[in-house]
Amino acid sequence: MTSTDSTRLAGKTALITGAARGLGAETARTLGKAGAAVVLTDILSDAGQATAEALAADGIDARFVTHDVTSEADWQRVVDTTVAACGGLDILVNNAGIEVVHMLADTSLEIFEKVMQVNSTGTFLGMKTAVAAMKPGGPAGRGGAIVNLSSIAGLSGFAGVTAYCASKGAVRLMTKAVALECAALGYGIRVNSVHPGLIMTAMGKAAVEHFVAAGLVPDEEAASAIFASRQPLGDGRPSDIAEAILYLSSDAARWVTGTELAVDGGFSAG
């Protein structure tokens, strides 16, 4: 069975955060093409609605819900809406995230806490709410898969992104803790993390620009050369990340939980 099999996720419902654009939108498309009903969420309401409509026009069962991942009440509303509209919840992809580039001395507590709230607290709340819905006796109640988007910055440190590294490192270890807890309690819920390298989405391009602005590299060409030297397989595409998420979301990964899957062109191997 290949990832292009349109029945691979048939009968399943997937909720993808930060899905208005970039990796989230590509993940929604990939899971939808594999047969899942997809619920896209984001704070970018207009872009999110437009993406969901484009997917629906392409034959995918897709809908959009506005969502602030830092709000516990919003998480409950979104999960309740998903279960009511789609008849269940089988897959959660915690993709929503932000990145800022600041030297440590220039990183305010407000900036640090904002990054942690979106990237770490948002993932925590997503897992908490989804597990309650997916576990036996929950409103969905048939188990499932959770995929958390961390980063190569959750595996290694990088200058200028202390807050981002802290938040993505937290995602990595929360993933393992929740995976073990769900397995020990017999919930039938697998939890894994994906660690992308630099992908030139809008967020990836902005990160490069911020590295230049911070004086860490002289220009964007130099930044690209550095990443090229560390990624022996060359540049990655959003679809590379989405295919990894598809695998971890599917029954093909039935014996995989608590793992960290680096999809980075070899960056973390060096």
Mean pLDDT of 123-138: 98
Active-site option among 75, 164, 211, 267: 164
Supply the pLDDT for residue 194: 98
Whether residue 103 contacts residue 214, with contact meaning beta carbons closer than 8 Å, is answered with yes
Write out pLDDT tens, residues 236-266: 899 999 999 999 999 999 999 999 999 999 9
Mean pLDDT of 23-28: 98
Is the pLDDT score of 165 beyond 80?
yes
Close Cβ partners of 77 (under 8 Å, ≥ 6 residues apart): none
The yes-or-no answer on residue 187 being catalytic is: no
Is the pLDDT score of 1 beyond 90?
no
Supply the pLDDT for residue 219: 82
Tokens of 71: 């709000």
Write out pLDDT tens, residues 75-116: 999 999 999 999 999 999 999 999 999 899 999 999 999 999
Supply the pLDDT for residue 166: 98
69 vs 198 pLDDT, higher one = 69
Is the pLDDT score of 12 beyond 80?
yes
pTM of the model: 0.93
Supply the pLDDT for residue 204: 63
Which range is least confidently modeled, 86-90, 209-213, 231-235, 239-243?
209-213
CA 234 → CA 5, 95, 124, 263, distances in Å? 27, 23, 33, 12
Average pLDDT, the chain: 93
